[in-house]
Amino acid sequence: TYARDPRFNFILLRENVGKRKAQIAAIRRSSGDLVLNVDSDTTLASDVITKLALKMQDPAVGAAMGQLTASNRSDTWLTRLIDMEYWLACNEERAAQARFGAVMCCCGPCAMYRRSSLVSLLDQYETQLFRGKPSDFGEDRHLTILMLKAGFRTEYVPDAIAATVVPDRLGPYLRQQLRWARSTFRDTLLALRLLPGLDRYLTLDVVGQNLGPLLLAISVLTGLAQLALTATVPWSTFLMIAAMTIIRCTVAAFRARQLRFLGFSLHTFINIFLLLPLKAYALCTLSNS
* DSSP labels, 165-187: ----SHHHHHHHHHHHHHHHHHH
Do 186 and 138 meet the contact criterion of CB atoms below 8 Å apart? yes
**Rounded CA gap, 74 and 8, in Å?**
33
Q: Please check the confidence at residue 174 and state whether its pLDDT lies above 70.
A: yes
The pLDDT-based confidence of 1 (bands split at 50, 70, 90) is low
Query: Which CATH number belongs to the domain containing residue 112 in this structure?
Result: 3.90.550
Q: Please check the confidence at residue 133 and state whether its pLDDT lies above 90.
A: no
Give the pLDDT confidence score for residue 149 in this predicted structure: 93
* Mean pLDDT across 10-27: 90
The pLDDT > 70 percentage for the chain reads: 100
The pLDDT-based confidence of 8 (bands split at 50, 70, 90) is confident
Q: Is residue 35 in some structural domain?
A: yes
Do 13 and 91 meet the contact criterion of CB atoms below 8 Å apart? no
Q: Is residue 72 in some structural domain?
A: yes
Q: What distances in angstroms separate CA 105 from CA 11, 140, 211, 221, 283, one per listed residue?
A: 26, 6, 18, 30, 19
Q: Is residue 5 in some structural domain?
A: no
pLDDT in tens, 138-164: 899 999 999 999 999 999 999 999 999
**Rounded CA gap, 80 and 83, in Å?**
5
Give the pLDDT confidence score for residue 191 in this predicted structure: 85
Give the pLDDT confidence score for residue 289 in this predicted structure: 73
- Average pLDDT value for the chain: 93
pLDDT in tens, 64-99: 999 999 999 999 999 999 999 999 999 999 999 999
Q: Is residue 80 in some structural domain?
A: yes
Give the pLDDT confidence score for residue 120 in this predicted structure: 94
Give the pLDDT confidence score for residue 87 in this predicted structure: 98
Q: Please check the confidence at residue 135 and state whether its pLDDT lies above 80.
A: no
Give the global pTM: 0.93
Greatest mean pLDDT among 5-14, 111-120, 124-133 lies in 111-120
The H-or-E segment that residue 217 falls in is helix 200-230
Q: Is residue 111 in some structural domain?
A: yes
Q: Is residue 160 in some structural domain?
A: yes
If you write DSSP's letter for every residue of 256-272 in order, what string do you get?
A: HT-GGGGGGGGHHHHII
Total domains present in the chain: 1
For residue 136, what are the domain limits? Answer: 19-285
